[in-house]
Amino acid sequence: MGKKITLLLSVIILTAGLNAMEISRVEPPSWWVGMNNPTLQIMLYGKDLTGGTVTTSEKGIKIQSVKYGDSPNYLFIELKISPKLKPGRYNFTVTKGNLKTEFFYTFEKKGAGGKMTGKGFGPHDLVYLLMPDRFANGDKSNDSHPDAAEKASYDKPYGRHGGDIQGIINSLDYLNKLGVTAIWSTPLLFDNEPRASYHGYACSDYYKIDPRFGTNDLFREYVGEAAKRNIGIIMDMVPNHSGISHWWYNDLPFNDWIHKFPKYTQSNFAMSSHADIHASQADNIRCTTGWFDTSMPDMNLKNPYLHRYFVQNAIWWTEWSGLAGIRVDTYPYSDKFAVAEWVAGILLEYPAMNIVGECWFSTPAEVAYWEGSAKNRDGYSSKLTSVMDFPLQEAIGGALLKDGQPGWGEGMFRIYRSLSLDFVYTNPYSLLIFADNHDTNRITETLKGDLSKMKMMLTLLATMRGTPQLYYGTEIMLKTKDGKLGHGEERLDMPAESEFNSDQRALADFTSKLFSWRKGSKAVHEGKLMHFWPNDNLYVYFRNYSNEIVMVIINNNTKTLNLDWDIYNEAVKSGRAGKDIISGNTVISGNTFEVAPQSAHVISFK
């Protein structure tokens, strides 16, 4: 037989003749010189690798150990990389008896990913969440792909609709104009399940972009194009589960690579069992080892080789493409200590990075347990730099729905009360705040497409403490035509900007004006929050920093209300001149100020 050459990203595998060993995968496919952690685990997958030895004559690379999997087809190499190693392609030899195979492995210089690499994101940003399959179709030729089991089906709510990375690239100027400074996309990695694969949460290859979205190189181009507009990219990562179509599923490296049961066992989703002092151990084990769904096997992060695999995978995408941040899916469904060390491993390389966890609880006390800086009675730290504020999300929808003169505890008081519980957080200003996302009902559906209420909601997002996240289409009141709710139904196709109707254009312009102003407001980015009891369904709060005071007025009543400035004298003295950033009008504190029903004002006093 002749020489067979397989090119896998930065890895070149040379298999020579009948006396060769077969290696089909090398992961991670490349690495870097100058990393804070000098060790690297390389996983080889091929035929009958158990018993093989690995050697290299390259100076600056030390093979510390070789470990075989429970499957005979895996080999794990641990390397120590000298900081003096020069970037380049280096040769390794795998030998077993009279069988021998060479592979070349590339080391690059750290920092090639660009200016946003590991930069993080925070209260100075507007994070835009989009679902790539439903956002914009920039390349119709990849709507279906020969390597993908599921083909395009544009009219099915749970089918593939054709959106892709090129569509996002084509939309970057629109997002920049909207005020977006960070983009969180639901997973773009290959999800090869035969049905409902559009959401991307059942990964089949952790080092490959879904071919229906584009290629690895196109993803890196997208990150670079966004960086030119000072937009950072946040990658959605899922260490808790993969898909059953993952290439390793039928030949696992170790028997405990995933959690297995005599019969299908789903998680009980009892996330509270982590912090509950009365919880049974059985409930916590079921929560953290049960499968998320029949097509999503639960990964065992306590296996050290799998754990290292996921740490390196997160670092690889960050360094290779230039990611600014990470969002972690279903954080409390994993072993809490193992997933915390996963976060720590990433932060070792990128100390400034923001890693925000999805910890879906309805009360601040439950969410606060998962702050990385939390002072928990059991001593636990998630190591996360941020968590998602689901209690405030629920409060926003419920509050704005109740207009007029609601009963005690209803209306805008729901937002007031949610924020009044901020004392349980160590840093409420780091929370990711939102009115809706891909897993909730659209806020447009909740507020029944009411333009005035949508403007009040956007005003809250733009001025509240925390980092605002806007779900794609919310800025144009995207909603179902028939009112039918559900994941597939509400994950709608985003229309082109040229197709916006007059109300959609008006709200998009409002959003752009509000969040463009927000970019320059230190009071909103860093200022302390002071709010006042919402009498008459009128909610007023202030953000104060240095010489800037931002006053936010939201009247969710159905009648005009006169502002009683005496109530707010503690925050702003009479006679100060401010500017209403939406209308452009000058406002003098203490002067008569009528607040129209169902309206919002943002006044900047300097």
Identify the structural domains of the chain with CATH numbers, from first to last: 4-109 (2.60.40.10), 528-605 (2.60.40.1180)
What pLDDT sits at residue 112?
Answer: 84
% residues pLDDT > 90 (the chain): 94
Closest CA to 53 of 94, 102, 104: 94
- pLDDT score, position 60: 95
Question: Which residues, in sequence order, are CB contacts of 326 under 8 Å at separation 6+?
Answer: 234, 235, 236, 237, 314, 318, 346, 353, 354, 355, 356
> Looking at residue 3, what is its pLDDT?
33
What CA–CA distance (Å, rounded) separates 121 from 431? 11
Query: H or E segment at 173?
Result: helix 172-178
- Measured from the Cβ of residue 587, the count of other Cβ atoms closer than 10 Å reads 20
Q: Which of 199, 58, 222 is nearest to 130 (CA)?
A: 199
Average pLDDT over residues 599-603: 98
* b/e burial code for range 488-522 (CB count within 10 A of at least 16 → b): ebbbbbbeeeeebeeebeebbebbbebbebbeebe
- Burial environment of residue 177 by CB neighbours within 10 A (0 to 12, 13 to 18, 19 or more): middle
**Using one digit for the tens of pLDDT, what is the confidence trace for 341-387?**
999 999 999 999 999 999 999 999 999 999 999 999 999 999 999 99
Asked if residue 421 has pLDDT above 90, the reply is yes
C-alpha span between 318 and 346 (Å, rounded): 9
587 phi and psi, to 5 degrees? -125, 130
- What is the mean pLDDT of the segment spanning 196-218? 98
Query: Which pLDDT belongs to residue 10?
Result: 65
Is 335 among the catalytic positions? Answer: no
CA separation, residue 455 to residues 70, 433, 555, 602 (Å) = 58, 16, 11, 11
pLDDT at 106: 97
Cα 310 to the center of its chain, rounded Å:
16
pLDDT at 21: 83
Terminal Cα distance for the chain, rounded: 79
pLDDT at residue 8 greater than cutoff 60: no
CB 298 within 8 A of CB 258: yes
Contact between 341 and 307 (Cβ < 8 Å) = yes
Question: What does the pLDDT look like over 231-255, one tens digit per residue?
Answer: 999 999 999 999 999 999 999 999 9
Three-state SS annotation for 85-134: CCCEEEEEEEEECCEEEEEEEEEEECCCCCCCCCCCCCCCCCEEEECHHH
Q: Among 125, 139, 191, 329, which one carries the catalytic annotation? A: 329
Residue 12 pLDDT greater than 50, yes or no: yes
Query: Residue 210 gets which letter from DSSP?
Result: -
Is the pLDDT assigned to residue 5 strictly greater than 50?
no
Cβ neighbours of residue 507 closer than 8 Å, sequence gap 6 or more: 451, 454, 455, 458, 475, 476, 477
Share the mean pLDDT of the chain: 96
What is the reported pLDDT for 4? 33
Taking the C-alpha atoms of residue 85 and residue 278, their distance in angstroms, rounded to an integer, is 53
Overall average pLDDT of the 57-76 stretch: 96
* Structural tokens at position 160: 């593939």
pLDDT tens column, 126-184: 999 999 999 999 999 999 999 999 999 999 999 999 999 999 999 999 999 999 999 99
pLDDT top residue among 57 and 349: 349
Q: Is 503 helix (H, G, I), strand (E, B) or coil?
A: helix
- Please tell me the distance from the alpha carbon of residue 326 to that of residue 523, in angstroms, as a whole number: 26
For residue 14, the model assigns a pLDDT of: 63
Which residue in the list 236, 298, 358, 389 is annotated as catalytic?
Answer: 358
Q: Is 358 a catalytic residue?
A: yes
Per-residue pLDDT for 413 more than 80? yes
Please, which pLDDT band fits residue 11 given cuts at 50, 70 and 90? confident
Mean pLDDT of 104-112: 94
Q: What is the CA radius of gyration of the chain?
A: 26
The three state secondary structure string of 539-588 is EEEEEEECCEEEEEEEECCCCCEECCHHHHCCCCCCCCEEEECCCCCEEE
DSSP code per residue over 426-445: S-GGG-EEES--TTS--HHH
What mean pLDDT is predicted for residues 2-28? 65
pLDDT at 558 over 60: yes
pLDDT of residue 1: 36
Residue 602 has pLDDT above 70, yes or no: yes
Q: How confident is the model at residue 17 (pLDDT cuts 50, 70, 90)?
A: low
Q: What is the largest CA-CA distance in the chain?
A: 92
pLDDT tens digits, one per residue of 438-487: 999 999 999 999 999 999 999 999 999 999 999 999 999 999 999 899 99
What lies within 8 Å, CB to CB, of 75 at 6+ separation is 43, 44, 46, 49, 50, 52, 54, 66, 67, 68, 69, 94
